[in-house]
Structure 1
Amino acid sequence: MQSAWSDRVRGTVRPPRGVWVTACLVLLLTLALANSTVTANWVPDSSSLTLVALGAGLLFGLAALIRPLPAGVALLVGLLAAPLVAVWASHGALVHAHPSDPGDLLGLARAWWPRVLSGDAALDNVSYLYLLNLGFWLIGGWLAWCSLRWRQPLLGVAPGAVVFAGNLLNFPDQQNGYVLSFLILTLSLLLWSTYQRSLESAGRRQVRLSGDARWDFWESGVLVLVGLVLLGLFLPPLSTTDRTIDLQNSAFRGWADLQERLNHPVPLGAGAATGNSIGFTSDVRMGGPIQRTSGVVFTYKFDNANGGPAYFRGLNLSRTGRGPTGPEWKYNEIVQPSVPIAKDTAISYAESYQEQAQAGVRIQMLKPPGAAQDVIFYTGQLQKLDRAAVAHSSRGYGQPIPSRGLYTLDRLSGLDGQGGSGSYHVNTTYSTAGEDQLRAAGTDYPAWLEPYRAFSNAYQPSQAATLPTQGYRRPEVLQRIAQLAQQVTAGKTNPYDQAQAIEAYLRSTYTYTLSPPSPGPDDPLDYFLFTGKQGYCEYFASAMGDMLRSLGLPTRLVNGYGPGTYDEKLDRFVVKESDAHTWVEVYFPSYGWIPFEPTPDGQYFPIQRAGAGAGCAPGSIACDPNAVGAGNGGLGSTPRIAPGLLDPNLNGVAGTGGAGASRLPAASPLLLLLLALFLALGLLFLSRYLRPGTADGAWSRTRRLAALAGIRGSPGETPLEFGRRLAREMPEAAGPAGRLADRFTLAAYAPRQLAEAAEDAALEAWLELRPLLLRRLKDRLTRRRVAYSA
């Protein structure tokens, strides 16, 4: 029997009918899988995956169509080519990461083999880029081979589907389009392959499929596709609970940890922390691109209504100096002797503040940050803790701790081996001061705040409290920052309006991105403010901190976590590694440290205060009286909002997207999807309309299509007369038009027995006439379009 894959026609080998459609679907599906992984950005500079996967699809697809080529030989050659192609695709990154390595293939193999044996390769991102290129060569090739040679597309899709699921679980942002593409392309490939096999099976059995049988098949396929998309749209999630919280010690958690470390490798072996999270740091570095990870750090729940900002303080950063990546804000290690904090004992502070409200919060620390495993996190100013701890204070830089209490609590550490992990309850206070009160607070700062006002040569603190800023930034950079701060705050006569002006300037003028442009040899903050104008929260907080200090305002930065997201099933908020955040606090006499939010990432908004006069930020708990944790009006809590919502202060840029890319509102993909569904339903309706079940239905459709094609019936014209006129104006349709008119007349007016016999003949005539009428209608529409264009 002749092969189903090739027909010999005049000495040539012709691919089977429909193979090009299969090939196109395979390449489109490969493209969607590769681009989804590039968007997930498991490893930086992974755009080569698309080219590698498409190349594999083309090569394996061509090999699959050459039937004389043995399958074993083709697969073996493709498998042997995989490591070579991966080296070619990763060569630039390999050389950039290790400039001293030889550039030839054999030299690279010799250089990397000891790293693989010693385990160092597991700590190098470029090795993961190599593995991704290797994997996508195999994924693209396997999909093409299974679909075009073995005719088993489901088997071919399986490896790519596993990778795609990993992308969605770990990096769900910007994946909606790929989800829709994957669903449609996968189902289309499966339907098309099944349809082609049905045609071949019918051909081998010498069975002729009617046109309606083909319509039935595709109708069913479109209905399945529409139903699948509708289920995904309108059914609730199978679970709204983050199950990783309940699986902390399972193999799943270990696998998740391994995935999260692809971009944040940690040393393996003795002494390495395997139960710690990443994202949180003890300083504020303005480095290169960063990757957000989704591991759960802790959950929390307020005892009652809380109107304060749900920012979880970890470390207060008041010192500026040189770091590994250049000038940066740091946690001040020059601390006074630690102060023990007894369990359930109120903490004594040197100052008391007006307009304070109290809050209680229960925190379940699941995965302490690896950079500060001992830190206990809390909101606002700590008052009491239900476990013993140690308070660290760096206030005053050498001034003795007052007997009446602490000036500031910069780090709270847990005792013994427990550190900051486990469950604990804190009582805190937060400021409820309004804008008018903060404007009137004045500038009568106590002496212990002098270090928080120092800005190298731009501001001279008193000689007794000199802040060690030598080597922080070059004088010309400090001068440019000070001049910018003066320009932004021109006409502002009080510290609050000055701070608010700088906050608004940064939010409206600069763009949030996880991949800021490289400053090269320049000062990163100088480059951010005056050239690149793109960065993440560390850039915005450092800029605001330096600008405020250049004006002599007491300022500090805080490293901690944002509010996270509320989980209805848990009835708690869940904070993840991606919620690690840096913000700014300014000191106001009589009111203490007041937080400000300069980062315009579409998830954090300016903190609303009493008398602000502005509407609440999108997503603010405090603005929604029905929300869990809602507090007194106007004091905004800023939990995360749905991705894609636009911040009106961002000139149309929101979210964690790329450098300055405009983002559509979140509703747009849904509208496009609904439009596609309506189009699919319209096609289903049209297919049903063109397949009548009675002779009367066939005749009514004939008259309507003929009218649309320019052949209108005359009043009083009989079916036989119209059939003859249709045959004259459409000679190619003379036969089926005449038979349909004749059989319809019998079915409509003859006795029942004759009418039933004529019914089937009328429908058969309609099947022949239908494509001719549609072709005539298409030609008429085409002529009209050409005439209109002319």
Structure 2
Amino acid sequence: MSPNEKKLPEGWSTLFLLIGMVMTVTWSVTAPQWVEGLNVIEVLALYGLLAGLLLAKTRFPPFLAHLFSLVYGAACVAYLGTGLLPSAFDPRQRFLELGYHINAWLWKVLHGGSSSDDLMFILFLGCLIWLLGYMAAWATFRSHRVWWAILPTAAVLFINFYWGPPSLLSFVIVYVGFMLLYFIRLNLFLQQLIWARERVRYEPEIAWDFLRYGLIFTLVVMALAWIAPGAAASEEAATFWGRFSEPWERVQDTWNRLFFTSRYYGSAQPNAFGTSTTLSGSVRLGNRVVMDVISAGGRYWRATVYDEYTGSGWLNTDEEMDYLEPFDPDLHTPQFEMRRLITQTYLSYLPGRTQLFALADPVGINRAAKIRYNQVMGQLPRDPHPIEMANISMIYARTPLGSGESYVVVSSISTADEESLRSAGVDYPRWVTERYLQLPNSLPQRVRDLAAEITRLQNSPYDKITALESYLRRIKYNELIESPPPAQDRVDWFLFDLQEGYCDYYSSALAVMARSVGVPARVAVGYGRGEYNAEAHAYRVRDNNAHAWVEVYFPRYGWIEFEPTAAESVIARPRRPASTAAPDNGDTQGPDRDQDPLDRWQELLDEDYSGGSLPPPESKPWWGTMLWVMGGFLVVAVALGGGYWLLEEQGMISLGMVQKAYARMTRFGRALQVLPRDSFTPYEYAAELSDEVPAGRGPIRRITELFVKQQFSPQTVNEEESAAAWRDLRPSLWRRWLTRWAEKFQTPPEET
């Protein structure tokens, strides 16, 4: 070993590569600037690495070392966290304020609330990054467990990449490079320990030779991975990961509830809309094709609705879940007047998606599904007795959709005209007033006062909503806004301070102000119509069509959509001709009023809404597919070559032919469970191996003789002779290894 390696046996290059791994992960977390001040975790990553290295080289038992690390790490996180508080605070006030933030966050965690405290987000990530650095250093320099350093860092990197902007791909590439070289270097160190124990001589500079060839191998693998087809596009992979979608969605919802961050970059995951959403900073939505929709009408492809406003975002608090069969006759939804049924066909291009979309109020779907809903009481046509009904807020497929797979939804959409809505009254059901008039106590009074001022001349709920909608549409539309202050109500900030924003802010402001003047409202999210293709009678929907709007409840007519966002067109509603009398309790609805929607499903499905078809997105020519196939074969060939190199060449670059032949022979011996003992002489080990591989007895004896002569005799040996002996021995070793492997899968004969 070199003098430097004596000071750090694992090698300074190992430390450099480990720092590269951990810091690449850390920089990938800070690069999207989720919240202001997040850069402090870069210091914590270095502190964690240093603490892990120093404690790994002490004689402290693991429990004591880990305990010391936790205490020291918590102190570092707290100290750096106080530096993010206002400079006017003295040190004592800063620690008291920090304790207040932690206590308030814990209270929300334990009571099911949501938090938008950026400081707690930074503290949490600071603790995580500290542990990441400490564990990686401990695993490298104390326990020598390669995967204990790789797996946690890779998990954090890829989860962050999953949520972050596409530009984070560069961090993934750099991390993979550091990780492969780290893997090679630490495994070389472990191999050196084995050689030292077995008294195998090797050149001191082998580490640098090894890293040089390892770097070439790493660059080749990374280049092939870059051009190979993405696993995310594989339907088989999507189906596999889809099995874990439900628990992963629960994790996402919990994370969003506890850590509402200030920036949003769109979602890389197939299910983009969860049970919570935050009013955040700038948005950056891509142009990826999400789906095609064939429908005779409609404006919004809805994913979910939110009923509870928190001051920083919205929650879906529905707790009822149920499983449906295709067009399940047991599904009953609230019935309203002036409605018609409409069929939509959705063609999904995101493999692995389970979230399903629907116009307005869905009443049936052609595949097995799971719904989230709140239970209400209502009546079916021709049945005077009230029954339990499902006010559906979210729909999920029970099996993930593949790319190009379609599903059909039947929805009930409103045809109510302005005069009908204006005369709807305020006789709201109890289930509406209990859920859709909620506002937090922290809502600033000036928001309520502004809503009251805008609607003071309006009498009906419809006129109040249209007045609020008109006011909001005068606010400037801007997707690249600054991050909101963590302690300020988001709607208040939007209306009085920022006075610009995007659809999330417009819809939230309308829903909140409507509730403040006694009009039940909720926020809905999903996608706008997208780009219409007249020949195919279909809409192409992309990521940048993601949208939020408002649904307002009107007695007898149900949920009606409103569009407060300045960048979108106002919803045009029919006006009743002057000669038409106002409806009396819905009697003008004719036979539709007395017909259960279930009775019309088959009729609707038989109607021709299929139209044409849009070309699938980003279709590739046949020769492109051939290139991918050839690339796949090349990747497999490199992988096989790499496996051969690991078995027969790893760690032997600087060895002479005689030493290399003997080292290869002992490596195969270990694979065949013929392990060298400290008491064995080379000849005794050769005898043991010959008993296991009788066909190789001659070459084994010759390789051993040459090795002993070179190690313990001043005589020179013919290295070409050892190479020839190894060529004779190799087939016998491979055959015996494959035979032993096959024997593991053979079923033993039954005893008679």
Q: Same fold (TM over 0.5)?
A: no
Structure-1-length-normalised TM-score:
0.42
- Bigger RCO (CA 8 Å, 6+ sep): 2
